[in-house]
Chain A
Amino acid sequence: MNSQHIAAVSEAGDARTDDASTEPASEPSRTITLSVNGRRQTCQVSERKHLADFLRQDLALTGTHVGCEHGVCGACTVWVDGVTARSCLMLAVQTDGSDVRTVESLALDGGGLSVLQQAFQDHHGLQCGFCTPGILMSLTELLRDDPEPDEATVRLTLSGHLCRCTGYQNIVAAALDAAAKLRAAR
């Protein structure tokens, strides 16, 4: 092993920098303006940063989780302009001018859980909770677009998400119960 090369690299405190910015100056970046959870903001963002990292690192919205970074697991699902999107497969700069919503926007204005969120607790629709935010975003979209989904429809929507803990059954029950409660409240 050519360990002498390592000596060329500082591994001591003198490498410390006080720049706490998440974007080093060397990163090509752009200014984007977007709305996140109803709040309009203008941000300087690295061109290559994906949307999930932007939400989590730059906006501290860590409810959106990264489970695979190749668009299969669905944990990072958010809404972009009213429809679900995999935030690991989208660059943050692509959301310039968009309306983005994350799991943090789902609770009621007073802080109470949404009907779907409450149904998840009532039916034990989550265990470790890591995949849950993405699933909540997809099911919230489903219940908005289809007030009377049957079990097969719920399972089809859920099939875009991986959950290792629950076996999906209680998530399906929660979604159907939430749909019924939302219909009753209408």
Chain B
Amino acid sequence: MDTPLAPPRPGIALPGDRSPSKARQVIGTRAPRIEDPALLRGEGRYLDDLRIEALHAAFLRSPHAHARIAHLDCAAAGALPGVVAVFDATAIARHVTNLRMPLGFPSATLQKDITPWVLSGTEVAFVGEAIVMVVAETRYIAEDALALIDIDFAPLPVVHDVHQALDAAAPLVRSDAVSNIAERVPVGFGEVEQAFARAPHVFAEALFVHRGAAHPMEGRGVLARYDAALDTMTVWTSTQMSHEVMHAVAVMLGMDPHNVRVIAPDVGGGFGAKYLTYPEEVAVPAAARALGRPVKWVEDRAEHFVSAIHERDQYWDVEIAVDARALILGVRGRLLHDQGAYTPQGINLPYNAATSVTGPYRVPAYAMEVLICQTNKTPVVPVRGAGYPQAAFVMERLLDRVARELALDRAEVRARNLIPPEKMPYEKGLTNRAGVRSVVDSGNYAVCQSAALARIDYAGFRARQTTARAQGRYLGLGLANAVKATSRGPFESAVVRVSPSGRIGVYTGALAMGQGLATALAQICAEQLNVPVDSVHVTCGDTGYVSLGMGGFASRQTVMAGSSVHLAALEVRNKALKVAEQMLEIAADDLVLKDGRVEVAERPHLHVSLGEIARKLKGAPGYSMPAGITPGLEATGMFQTNAQAHANMCHACEVEVDIGTGGVRILRYVAVHDSGTLVNPMLAEGQIHGGIVHGIGNALFEKMGYDDEAQPITGTFADYLLPTSTEIPQIEVIFFETPSPTNPIGVKGIGEAGTIPVAPAIVSAVEDALAPFGVQIAEAPLSPVRILELILGEQP
């Protein structure tokens, strides 16, 4: 960790600690990951690594952005040796309760019939939409069979862009759509009209932000096994939300959720792409039940590009009103959000974007009209950052504009408008989707910005820039602040259980996608039980162990599952001490819990192990339990809240733009973060690094391109560019740790935090570098070609 500017870590007392002054010993350490040895040996068990004999599914997907299915004949495909079954919409309909997928999040206002089909039967609305599922002995044969399907399409007019979607003369995105506008959502607070009417300065911007797709290195995948004797379904799926998939599969297959077990094996990254129930997660279990044999489908990258969710395009027409001192009076505008052809989840992504624009700043009045537009493209749900990166881009671009217009320093404009620490907790004037008021809980934003400026030598930059320009080099510096409301509720589950063998297990509905969640939760448990981190066994995302769970989204798991583990481990600890008091006949005040046993202080030969206590609490038939003690050395933590812990960040970067090629080289990148108490600073840094590089992709590389017929034109990693190691500088991370009052361990989420301010910081730096050309930038990502166009003053 890069600590020189960080305050010393206080020894924070945990609620319920026997000694209020007890400093944390495990939380806050750089404990090595317990996940790593197996993964490094090649012994990970990702979906496609499970040793379960299964048939293989492959999907025929639409090559058209919008078309009627005029003719479909699967006979030749079905007759191919090795093919076991072919399901089209009519065939799969016999095995599911509804051909249309359930909506992910409840909504009373969305148009009906807006979710994807399990298999599309009469009309296709985006390239990649699944039409037929072939099940065969091997994937190779299943794909051979796809080529034998006789299908004719009658192309329909295409909605390729949100602006076109709004045109009264535009075709409908689907023939069952009421309108291309799925929903209009007004968001705001304060007296906006008044604020703009009396403002001495109003500046307008038309901004475009594209965010590509999630692209975890492991694609999606499902393996389903039905046991007819028990009427039970086991679904292994590469998901971020086992419990939600369990409920969706149960509903769609007409089963009781009790008989459906969903297990997430090792998950090779998620980044949002796995936080929904996909049609394949219903179709594959339906086939497994229909055929009485396990069926597996593993997405390939070509499928992932078109059938796993994207984020994609948002157009923002916005205005900012400021007074003579550049203090913000109001922000208003309109957001056009490209939702794609269906709405699998709800309005959460554009709602997040619209409600997070004001970020870390005091904005007294705000109004944003959100138009959720449907286009004939792959559906959209949140990718890492979930609308916050776009919102930060909007706010930071507006502040750069204010600075330029009023001839003020960019950092100074921000400093004047940051929410000051004495105003915390700060009410934003908005409600989150839980219906509770959005309250920024804690943090010192000015201090974070100052630390970033000091680290990047902001004061010395103009001299560096001048020197470089004299050599024909174009340097620029960019700066951006952001806030992320993390730790979405309503709860997360955690069971801490000591087995009679002494094994310590943690079971949670939270879901590990690579963050090191098991290690973080093991640390939180180990803190209370005073055992080595690697003696805690963590099971995430298996509905067979815990009945309830939410999973991995919204930078929430260390906060929510961590708090639940903390509460449960504390209860287990206190229970163990109470039982030991009776077993050892020594007052609890004289007992010490350590290394898996309770000892008498100063007389460690007198002890009882956690396993012995667990055996006592297992009960013996007809014998009594210890007085006043409930059975089992275990506890369930169910930390519940609608409040959100607000992580904040300030990023500063220095870039060099090659005016001959349009290439951007990032020379330095400084990231100051406050995610509250850090459970494991090493893992926290890893989250920041990965988040920032995702943001660099969004700023400079990642563009999911479509042509005017809504045909994807970036369908491989050779066309769609993820950042690679040679484009990435050393990232300098500085942490502050302002404990959040919203949860018992003081943590704030971190998974998405790194991504949010990156695009505005880099774009600001590029604009600064190109100031001699009068370049003003209103978009991301910036390709080299686009930068050359900007330098030459050309339109795209």
What residues make up the interface of A, taking CB atoms closer than 8 Å to B?
1-3, 5-6, 8-13, 15-17, 19-20, 22-24, 26-27, 46, 48-49, 56, 60-70, 72-73, 75, 102-104, 106-107, 113, 117, 120-122, 124, 126-133, 136, 154-156, 158-159, 161-172
Known: A5-B75, A6-B88, A69-B300. A166 touches B46 (CB 8 A): no
Contact A165 B74 (CB under 8 A): no
> How far does the alpha carbon of A154 sit from the alpha carbon of B730 in the complex, in Å?
13
Contact A103 B514 (CB under 8 A): no
> How far does the alpha carbon of A67 sit from the alpha carbon of B48 in the complex, in Å?
11
Contact B138 A24 (CB under 8 A): yes
> How far does the alpha carbon of A126 sit from the alpha carbon of B89 in the complex, in Å?
41
- A-B contacts besides A2-B73, A64-B42, A121-B32, 16 pairs, CB < 8 Å: A5-B75, A5-B78, A62-B45, A65-B217, A73-B217, A107-B41, A124-B682, A127-B516, A128-B267, A154-B725, A156-B725, A158-B726, A159-B725, A159-B726, A162-B722, A168-B725
> How far does the alpha carbon of A124 sit from the alpha carbon of B725 in the complex, in Å?
16
Complex A-B: 29 CB contacts under 8 Å: A8-B75, A12-B292, A24-B137, A24-B141, A65-B217, A68-B301, A70-B716, A72-B716, A106-B40, A113-B40, A120-B36, A120-B40, A121-B33, A124-B516, A126-B39, A128-B268, A130-B44, A130-B268, A132-B39, A156-B725, A159-B724, A161-B724, A164-B215, A164-B722, A165-B686, A167-B689, A167-B693, A167-B731, A168-B725
Contact of A11 among B46, B82, B290 (CB under 8 A): B290
> How far does the alpha carbon of A96 sit from the alpha carbon of B293 in the complex, in Å?
35
Contact B51 A60 (CB under 8 A): yes
> How far does the alpha carbon of A164 sit from the alpha carbon of B267 in the complex, in Å?
13
Contact B140 A73 (CB under 8 A): no
Number of A-B residue pairs at CB separation under 8 A: 244
Contact B36 A126 (CB under 8 A): yes
| B292 contacts across to A, CB distance below 8 A | 12-13, 16
> How far does the alpha carbon of A17 sit from the alpha carbon of B689 in the complex, in Å?
50
Contact A5 B81 (CB under 8 A): no
| B692 contacts across to A, CB distance below 8 A | 167
> How far does the alpha carbon of A130 sit from the alpha carbon of B41 in the complex, in Å?
12
Contact B218 A72 (CB under 8 A): no
Contact A130 B269 (CB under 8 A): yes
Residues of B within 8 A of A (CB-CB), count: 86
User: Quick one: which of A11, A19, A102, A122 has the most chain B CB within 10 A?
Assistant: A11
Contact B726 A63 (CB under 8 A): no
Contact A66 B48 (CB under 8 A): yes
Contact B716 A128 (CB under 8 A): no
Known: A24-B82, A69-B301, A169-B731. A128 touches B513 (CB 8 A): yes
B53 within 8 A of A: yes
A144 to chain B, nearest CB (A): 18
| B514 contacts across to A, CB distance below 8 A | 127-130, 165
Known: A3-B90, A128-B514. A164 touches B725 (CB 8 A): no
> How far does the alpha carbon of A10 sit from the alpha carbon of B36 in the complex, in Å?
45
Contact A169 B72 (CB under 8 A): no
Give the 10 A-B residue pairs with the shortest CB-CB distance, closest first. A63-B42, A128-B514, A130-B268, A9-B78, A129-B39, A167-B689, A3-B90, A167-B693, A103-B42, A72-B717
Known: A17-B137, A129-B266. A65 touches B218 (CB 8 A): yes
B720 to chain A, nearest CB (A): 10
B92 to chain A, nearest CB (A): 9
B255 to chain A, nearest CB (A): 19
Contact A10 B269 (CB under 8 A): no
| A165 contacts across to B, CB distance below 8 A | 217, 269, 514, 686, 690
| B216 contacts across to A, CB distance below 8 A | 128, 130, 164
Contact of A158 among B82, B91, B135, B724 (CB under 8 A): B724
User: Quick one: which of B36, B73, B215 has the most chain A CB within 10 A?
Assistant: B36
Contact A68 B86 (CB under 8 A): no
B6 within 8 A of A: no
Contact of B87 among A2, A6, A117, A127 (CB under 8 A): A6
| B78 contacts across to A, CB distance below 8 A | 5-6, 8-10
| B138 contacts across to A, CB distance below 8 A | 22-24
User: Quick one: which of B42, B515, B689 has the most chain A CB within 10 A?
Assistant: B42
B49 within 8 A of A: yes
Contact B689 A169 (CB under 8 A): yes
What residues make up the interface of B, taking CB atoms closer than 8 Å to A?
32-33, 35-37, 39-46, 48-49, 51, 53, 69, 71-75, 77-79, 81-91, 121-122, 135, 137-138, 140-141, 215-219, 266-269, 271, 287, 290-293, 300-302, 513-516, 682-683, 685-686, 689-694, 716-718, 722, 724-726, 728, 730-731
Contact A49 B513 (CB under 8 A): no
B288 to chain A, nearest CB (A): 11
| A67 contacts across to B, CB distance below 8 A | 217-219, 301
Known: A1-B88, A6-B86, A130-B218. A65 touches B268 (CB 8 A): yes
| B43 contacts across to A, CB distance below 8 A | 63
| B302 contacts across to A, CB distance below 8 A | 69-70
Contact of B140 among A16, A27, A124, A128 (CB under 8 A): A27
A74 to chain B, nearest CB (A): 10
Contact A3 B91 (CB under 8 A): yes
Contact A70 B301 (CB under 8 A): yes
A112 to chain B, nearest CB (A): 9
Contact of B32 among A65, A122, A155, A170 (CB under 8 A): A122
User: Quick one: which of B87, B88, B137, B728 has the most chain A CB within 10 A?
Assistant: B137
> How far does the alpha carbon of A10 sit from the alpha carbon of B135 in the complex, in Å?
11
> How far does the alpha carbon of A154 sit from the alpha carbon of B728 in the complex, in Å?
13
B384 to chain A, nearest CB (A): 9
B286 to chain A, nearest CB (A): 10
| A102 contacts across to B, CB distance below 8 A | 42
> How far does the alpha carbon of A127 sit from the alpha carbon of B689 in the complex, in Å?
11
> How far does the alpha carbon of A49 sit from the alpha carbon of B143 in the complex, in Å?
13
> How far does the alpha carbon of A12 sit from the alpha carbon of B188 in the complex, in Å?
56
Known: A16-B293, A65-B46, A127-B686. A1 touches B121 (CB 8 A): yes
| A1 contacts across to B, CB distance below 8 A | 69, 72, 88-90, 121-122
Contact B83 A9 (CB under 8 A): yes
| B46 contacts across to A, CB distance below 8 A | 62, 65, 130
Contact of A6 among B74, B84, B300, B513 (CB under 8 A): B74
Q: Of all chain B residues, which has the CB nearest A64?
A: B42
| A19 contacts across to B, CB distance below 8 A | 137
Contact A124 B683 (CB under 8 A): yes
B557 to chain A, nearest CB (A): 14
Known: A11-B87, A49-B140, A168-B693. A68 touches B41 (CB 8 A): no
Q: Of all chain B residues, which has the CB nearest A117?
A: B40
> How far does the alpha carbon of A170 sit from the alpha carbon of B689 in the complex, in Å?
9
Contact B42 A13 (CB under 8 A): no
B324 to chain A, nearest CB (A): 42
> How far does the alpha carbon of A69 sit from the alpha carbon of B90 in the complex, in Å?
32
> How far does the alpha carbon of A182 sit from the alpha carbon of B97 in the complex, in Å?
60
Known: A6-B88, A168-B693. A26 touches B268 (CB 8 A): no
> How far does the alpha carbon of A61 sit from the alpha carbon of B48 in the complex, in Å?
12
| A6 contacts across to B, CB distance below 8 A | 74, 78, 86-88, 90-91
Contact of A164 among B32, B87, B269, B291 (CB under 8 A): B269
| A159 contacts across to B, CB distance below 8 A | 724-726
> How far does the alpha carbon of A76 sit from the alpha carbon of B393 in the complex, in Å?
36
Contact B726 A155 (CB under 8 A): yes
| A172 contacts across to B, CB distance below 8 A | 725
Contact A68 B728 (CB under 8 A): no
Q: Of all chain A residues, which has the CB nearest B729?
A: A169
A38 to chain B, nearest CB (A): 15
B462 to chain A, nearest CB (A): 29
User: Quick one: which of B37, B69, B79, B691 has the most chain A CB within 10 A?
Assistant: B37
> How far does the alpha carbon of A9 sit from the alpha carbon of B291 in the complex, in Å?
12
| B694 contacts across to A, CB distance below 8 A | 164
Contact A26 B82 (CB under 8 A): yes
Contact A3 B137 (CB under 8 A): no
| A3 contacts across to B, CB distance below 8 A | 88, 90-91
> How far does the alpha carbon of A56 sit from the alpha carbon of B515 in the complex, in Å?
25
